[in-house]
Amino acid sequence: MSVCFPSPYVLGAQLHPSGCRFTLYAPDQECVHLLLWHQGHQPQRLAMHEYKRGYWTRDVADVVTGQEYSFDVSHNGQSWCVADPYAQAVTGPLTYRPPYTSSQSTQVARCQVVDHELFDWQGVSSPQRSIRDTVIFETHVKGLTQQHPDIEPAQQGRYLGLVSPAMLAFYQQHHINCLQLLPITCCLPEPHLLSQQKTNYWGYNPYVWMAPDPRYAEKDAVNELKTAIRELHRHDIEVILDVVFNHTAEGGEGGPILHFKALDHAMYLQDGQQLHNHTGCGNTIDIRHPAALKQVLDTLRMWVTDYHVDGFRFDLAATLGRDGDTFDPHNAFFHAIAQDPILSKVKLIAEPWDIGPDGYQLGQFPVNWAECNDKIRDITRSLWRGEPGMLQDFATRLMGSRDVFSAAYWPDHLPINYITYHDGFTLQDVVSYAKRHNHANGEKNQDGHGDNRSANYGVEGPTNNPDIIKIRDQQKRNMMASILFSLGTPHILMADMLGHSQQGNNNAYCQDNPISWLNWQTQDHAWSNWLATMITRRNAIVPRFIDALSGTQRHFNQITWRHPNGDPVHDHQWPSLQALSCEITLGAHHSDAGQSLLIAINSGHTAHNLRLPPNHQWRIVCDTATDETTVGTPESFQRLVEKSFLVCIDGDWL
């Protein structure tokens, strides 16, 4: 009986009945050796054979799951040990002592053979929730659980900590239905961080795209991550991975030789011998290169098929649409995703910019993508801290930023509405600090964003002043209500659910310590409970209106803007407005025909009497003037206090 061997075009380590086939794409090499590592022994060194067109293969009998391997290649006259770009597990230390040398490479570049068929998914399937019904919670695997007192020490800061009984109870209590994990693929810290005994805590310096980071596992990163995803799915929680395909940890000129620089230099955008740096990290992946496109697509499919992830958030995604110095929304990568029977079905979220030329591309991604909407972040922060003339733009953002995201393509092409992301202030710091305080990063407080649109309300940092605490809490409610009840998909930092402060650090990328780790002992329970209640109400209300305003249905509904006294807003009045109300009434073509949502905003310092439209049974579901969550029945003239956001629905939908 003949043995069925994997195709030599299937890259990586492929197990088969009699052993394993190792395949590497290395068109820049004239000779490649496979190294098989055995504990306490020198590696077994086996010559690989070039099958054709840069594909190097070697079959080895009796190789089993767990075998460590790497490749020996030549670069600039030196012998280097390099990692398999298709490796699905790594065992080498994810650190080194700068400068990176060929002798250190023999330890770092160790990969491991994996058999994905061994894991039991127990019949658990993905929730497959629509993007309009999703509230995304962004979190760091380690930072979420490292300091949780009710999680077993062996699981704190690890994949399994995500699904500990304490965390599963927390998700349920706070109505969390989607986790977006900061990068969990293997990364290496940048040389300047290693020189300072720091690390890239966020994980945005990718080393091996297909391998989960072993630092978040007790023993087995592959199976422990799968277990976490399976149990999250069992509890109706989706998992989105933040992925980085715009650059790698090889960096720019002088960076370490990890794989692509020696194997296939065409993976990176170049001008002669100079690497392009459209990412701020030294190099830029050239997605036009067939090998780069194949690697990214194969990686994405692996995470969906072998780990059952529900979607991806693409860091600096404008790079993936680059045609050199320009952006092309019709490039091969976007077309490949759109026609792929696996990838076209998952959630695709773009961070729609990079730092290169023509790098800001908000609203320009294909219609099957959602996009991070920085416009609502900026205008919401500006509005609530009291900048004049902001309400007109805020009204546009509230209605789904349809000047950028046409409702004709909803609900697929929705804005991801956020106030805070990992890169920036937490919400507590937005209302506590007027300036960044990044001294702990070792860059003389010159790193991080300078335009934070934050305010401290009288004291820089923590305070015991009850008046300052009161206005800070109200401003937090205002900003969170603004994204929860705007049309789009809300994105919330898990840190903000707890009221976590990073001590004014708005670029804590290298802070693997309590600056970043969530402090469960100081959780603001009153705030968490208010936010959890608003999330529940958002989920019951907003998706109906997104649905009604999507596609051709959008033409059959009515949106009315009024002054607080009920008079219509005229065009010339918009620039000077500080308070107004918006009523959306669903038309006859929708199943909820005749029902209405009313949102009233007072960004000024003067209270107003809000005249509610007659002939409705209005119910107050959100009033940021208080942390009370009781559903109330308003008077015909409802008090709209200064600096407040009010949401009413017609009838009882909750």
Which residues form the catalytic set? 315, 351
Backbone angles phi, psi at 621, to 5 degrees: -110, -15
Angle at 512 between CA 509 and CA 151, to 5 degrees: 130
Q: Which residues face 46 on adjacent strands?
A: 34
- At position 441, the amino acid (one-letter code) is N
**Which residue shows structure tokens 């009945």?**
17
Q: Which 3 state secondary structure label does DSSP give 412?
A: coil
Whole-angstrom distance, CA of residue 467 vs CA of residue 472: 9
Distances (CA, A) of 395 to 102, 332, 487, 516: 58, 36, 11, 33
Q: Which 3 state secondary structure label does DSSP give 611?
A: strand
Cis status of the peptide bond prior to 411, with omega within 30 of 0: yes
Whole-angstrom distance, CA of residue 532 vs CA of residue 496: 11
Contact 304, 342 (CB under 8 A): yes
**Which residue shows structure tokens 């409610």?**
477
Rg for the chain, CA atoms, rounded: 26
The CA dihedral of 456, 460, 465, 470, to the nearest 10 degrees, is 20
Q: Which 3 state secondary structure label does DSSP give 49?
A: strand
Contact 121, 230 (CB under 8 A): yes
The tokens for 34 are 């496979």
Whole-angstrom distance, CA of residue 512 vs CA of residue 189: 12
Whole-angstrom distance, CA of residue 39 vs CA of residue 102: 20
Angle at 539 between CA 171 and CA 415, to 5 degrees: 100
Contact 646, 597 (CB under 8 A): no
Q: Which residues face 500 on adjacent strands?
A: none
Which has the closest alpha carbon to 380: 472, 475, 458, 493? 475
Contact 73, 262 (CB under 8 A): yes
Contact 414, 473 (CB under 8 A): no
- What is the DSSP-derived secondary structure letter of residue 324? T
Whole-angstrom distance, CA of residue 440 vs CA of residue 92: 29
Cis status of the peptide bond prior to 357, with omega within 30 of 0: no
Q: Which residues face 71 on adjacent strands?
A: 34, 82
Cβ neighbourhood burial of 155 (10 Å; 0-12, 13-18, 19+):
buried
Whole-angstrom distance, CA of residue 109 vs CA of residue 226: 24
Whole-angstrom distance, CA of residue 420 vs CA of residue 428: 10
